[in-house]
Amino acid sequence: MSAQRLNRRPLVNSWYPYFLGFMLLMLWGYALYIERVDVVKVIEWLNAQQLGVLTTIPFVPQLLSFFHWKVLRHIIPVAVGAYFAYDAAVVLVKILYDLPDRAGASRFLSRLLTTGIGTVNPPEITPTTLVDERNDSVLLRVGGPGQVKVPTGHVMVTELNGRFHQILAAGKHKLERYEYIHAVLDLQPQQRILDEFAAYSRDGLELRVGLSIIYRIKAGSEPATRENPWPYDETAVRTAAYVQTVLDDKGTVGTWEDTPINMAKGTLTAILAGFRLDEIMTPATPGEEPYRTLRNELLRQLRLKLDGMGIDLQAVGIHRIDLPPGVTDQYIDYWKSHWESQMLLDVIEGRATAEEKMEVAKAEAEIMMIQAIQEGIQRAKREGATAHMEEVVALRLVEALEKMARRSEPLTPLPNALMAQLDNMRRQLSDGNYNPRLPGKPIV
């Protein structure tokens, strides 16, 4: 029941003025009856005023008797009462709707009492005029009846009893009684640029960022034509008309035109907070367009958010990502310290790796020596040459040394005569002519 009462249209009592006119005629006729004005005296008065020609016209003397002063004295109080009633109504309308002057309240009351049809050239309502002239115009502040004009490329959203009523396309329209203009939306692509705002990278360094976006109300499924160059989706228009955001502590309310750029700023700030400064300033792939990854991610996230508001995001651009003058030195010191630490870690890691390789090489050499000795002993036993076991073991050791020298030669330079001495020793041991007790040159 309450919903039906809210949606109920204002009553239009077009018959009421005729009823009042009929009652006035009845009162006038009753005044004529009670005063009993003599028609003969009216005719004598006309003859005295040399207006006797009027007496020859049928019903003129009877009609003039209605305007006898005895009859009019009963109508004058009604006229005075009507005047004060109308004046009181004007004052009441001025107070109820907080109108600036009595003239505006009188015009609004006159429109309410008449058909509400305005001038031949109704005012053109744009988003700018709606905001600037709402307080001064009774039609924009209170509502119809009246005529308005919606310019090309725009659409108007109206309310009735504080609830959504209808969407009006470009052209002339007649507003119903108390039909209120809630918003006028521009259907053409909108571009907003934010030259500079502050953001922070993941490593806490301040950035100066600039971006721009292009967007419009969703066009819907209808194609653009010459007669309708800017089609629109009614659901998107209705949603965008009621998108309102409080921008500051003063209570400033932003419309759908302000929301995308503010949302883009917040989204890009959050994205930048997830990247280090070197990842932001230097593309991952050589030759890649700067900020491509950031722009694509901003376009994806922002398009999802604005889609639910009836707004179609068409393009996003990141103009700049710079460091403030005072942060540049901080950035250089930070990365200098970072790379010095990295180089120190690399040196320490290289030394540890080298020492580890040396220890492994020593262990391998010891294992190879043991294996050579063991192999020499086993070979001497198999050949029954236990008397020459020393020569056999020595021969295996020399062969193991040659193998180790050849393996380490690509990594560590060897003495010039080392390989020749090892080869000479191996031949002597093989021929049985090697005597370790004889004086000679050392191997190393």
Query: pLDDT tens digit string along 222-260?
Result: 888 888 888 999 999 999 998 877 666 676 777 888 889
Query: pLDDT tens digit string along 55-78?
Result: 666 666 666 777 777 777 888 888
Question: What is the token pair recorded at 117?
Answer: 């049809």
Percent of the chain beyond pLDDT 90? 17
Domains and CATH numbers, the chain: 8-96 (no CATH), 117-186 (no CATH), 190-323 (3.30.479.30), 347-431 (no CATH)
Which phi and psi (to 5°) does residue 417 adopt? -95, 5
Q: Is the pLDDT of residue 438 over 50?
A: no
pLDDT at 444: 38
Q: Is the pLDDT of residue 432 over 60?
A: no
Query: pLDDT tens digit string along 389-419?
Result: 566 666 666 666 666 666 666 556 656 666 6
Q: Is the pLDDT of residue 36 over 70?
A: yes
pLDDT at 190: 92
Query: pLDDT tens digit string along 120-158?
Result: 678 899 988 888 888 878 888 888 888 899 999 999 999
Q: Is the pLDDT of residue 268 over 80?
A: yes
Question: How confident is the prediction for the chain on average, in pLDDT?
Answer: 76
pLDDT at 21: 82
Comparison of pLDDT for 442 and 77, the residue scoring more: 77
Percent of the chain beyond pLDDT 70? 62
Integer CA distances (angstroms), 146 to 16, 168, 202, 376, in order: 20, 14, 58, 120
pTM: 0.59
Angle at 77 between CA 73 and CA 82, to 5 degrees: 140
- Cβ contacts of 389 within 8 Å, gap of 6 or more: 376, 377, 380
- Residues 96-112 have a mean pLDDT of 78
- Residues 281-288 have a mean pLDDT of 62
Angle at 126 between CA 124 and CA 127, to 5 degrees: 160
Which residue do the tokens 């250089």 mark?
332
- Residues 43-64 have a mean pLDDT of 66
Region for 285 from its dihedrals, namely left if φ exceeds 0, alpha if ψ lies in -120 to 50, beta otherwise: beta
pLDDT at 399: 67
3-state secondary structure the chain: CHHHHHHCCCCCCCCHHHHHHHHHHHHHHHHHHHHCCCHHHHHHHHHHCCCHHHHHCCCHHHHHHHHCHHHHHHHHHHHHHHHHHHHHHHHHHHHHCCCCCHHHHHHHHHHHHCCCCCCCCCCECCHHHHHHCCCCCHHHHCCCCEEEEECCCEEEEEEECCEEEEEECCEEEEECCCCEEEEEEECCCEEEEEEEEEEECCCCCEEEEEEEEEEEECCCCCCCCCCCCCCCCHHHHHHHHCCCEECCCCCCEECCCCHHHHHHHHHHHHHHCCCCHHHHHCCCCCCCCCCHHHHHHHHHHHHHHHHCCCEEEEEEEEEEEECCHHHHHHHHHHHHHHHHHHHHHHHHHHHHHHHHHHHHHHHHHHHHHHHHHHHHHHHHHHHCCHHHHHHHHHHHHHHHHHHHHHHHCCCCCCCCCHHHHHHHHHHHHHHCCCCCCCCCCCCC
pLDDT at 441: 42
Question: What is the token pair recorded at 93?
Answer: 């309308």
How many whole angstroms from its chain centre is CA 390? Answer: 90
pLDDT at 375: 66
Query: pLDDT tens digit string along 164-222?
Result: 999 999 999 988 888 899 999 999 999 999 988 999 888 888 888 999 999 999 988 88
pLDDT at 434: 46
- Residues 35-64 have a mean pLDDT of 67
